[in-house]
Amino acid sequence: MKRVLRHGFTLIELLVVIAIIGILSTFAVVQLAGSREKARVAKGASMSGQLMRSLGDDVAARWDFDECAGTTFTDMSEYGNDGTLVSGITFSTITPTGQGCSLSLNGTNQLTIPAPPLSARQTKTMWVYIVGPVPGNQYLIDEGVNNNTIQIYASRILVSENLPVTGFVLSNATVTTGKWYFIAVSHDGTSISLYLDGSLDKKQALAGIAPTGPITIGNYGGGGGYRLTGSLDDVRLFNRELTSQEIRHMYVEGLSRHVVAR
């Protein structure tokens, strides 16, 4: 009588095979996720480069503050209006993306930089991280002396044109401390569009004005106690009004999965 051999797996062998398949699947998923993340970063960098190239001569000033050391920060535009750090203002590794550096201001000083050629049709964009009390009046940037400003006022963003003669725009949204915000202000010559975190917050009729003096970062151009306590990053000035799509793109460019909020 022939003995019939039956080939099969024991329960233990099956469990081992299942475990091996699970481990291999995990490695495959991790590798795929890493590849996708690299592709996303590469695509974002490419889109960012394309955007800046498309803006071309419209870039009037670009301060990224990524030197991270020394006392000078470079204007990446063709005008080369570099700045020099002063007491109370330093580079910081706290940034919207967790990469590079930002400009940290402790509320005791401000920076004055020669103004590039700007018209009444222009756009200002920047990231801001507020540490000081938001109910107060803190200037983020001033072109000339109250020609064109962005301020934190009464827990809102205030944009002014030639105060007190022309007028101002006050945001609908409120801001708070300990959080990065992306602010964009676009002037088309007859109205102002205020964007917060890539979305339009308010559009209001307001005549534009070309600045008549230097750029002041972190305080009122005429001096006084309106200094910013917080951080600024990627401050950019454009010599035309940007579209909502361009502003949205710049906001997405600055995002990261790991947003620093200290």
Cα 54 to chain centroid distance, Å, stands at: 19
Contact 184, 125 (CB under 8 A): yes
For residue 183, being part of any structural domain is answered with yes
SS (H, E, C) 8-41: CCCHHHHHHHHHHHHHHHHHHHHHHHHHHHHHHH
For residue 30, being part of any structural domain is answered with no
196: domain CATH number is 2.60.120.200
Q: What would the mean pLDDT of 129-136 be, rounded to a whole number?
A: 89
For residue 7, being part of any structural domain is answered with no
* Domain around 248: 57-253
Cα 86 to chain centroid distance, Å, stands at: 23
For residue 220, being part of any structural domain is answered with yes
- In the predicted model, what is the mean pLDDT of the chain? 83
For residue 170, being part of any structural domain is answered with yes
Above 70 in pLDDT, residue 75? yes
What is the C-alpha to C-alpha distance for residues 13 and 9, in angstroms, rounded to an integer? 6
Of the segments 196-200, 222-226, 254-258, which one has the largest average pLDDT value? 196-200
* Residue 211, pLDDT score: 87
Q: Strand, helix or coil at 124?
A: strand
For residue 48, being part of any structural domain is answered with no
List the structure tokens of 214: 């230097």
Q: Please report which confidence band the pLDDT of residue 175 belongs to, taking 50, 70 and 90 as the band edges.
A: very high
* Residue 43, pLDDT score: 42
Q: What would the mean pLDDT of 241-262 be, rounded to a whole number?
A: 72
* Residue 110, pLDDT score: 96
Q: What would the mean pLDDT of 181-202 be, rounded to a whole number?
A: 95
For residue 37, being part of any structural domain is answered with no
Contact 182, 171 (CB under 8 A): no
What is the C-alpha to C-alpha distance for residues 44 and 46, in angstroms, rounded to an integer? 5
- Provide the domain count of the chain: 1
**Exposed (0-12), middle (13-18) or buried (19+): which is 120, by Cβ within 10 Å?**
middle
* Residue 53, pLDDT score: 61
Share of the chain above pLDDT 90, in %: 57
Determine the angle formed by the axes of helices 244-253 and 11-55, rounding to 10 degrees: 130
For residue 14, being part of any structural domain is answered with no
Above 80 in pLDDT, residue 83? yes
Above 80 in pLDDT, residue 254? no
* Residue 11, pLDDT score: 65
Q: Please report which confidence band the pLDDT of residue 215 belongs to, taking 50, 70 and 90 as the band edges.
A: very high
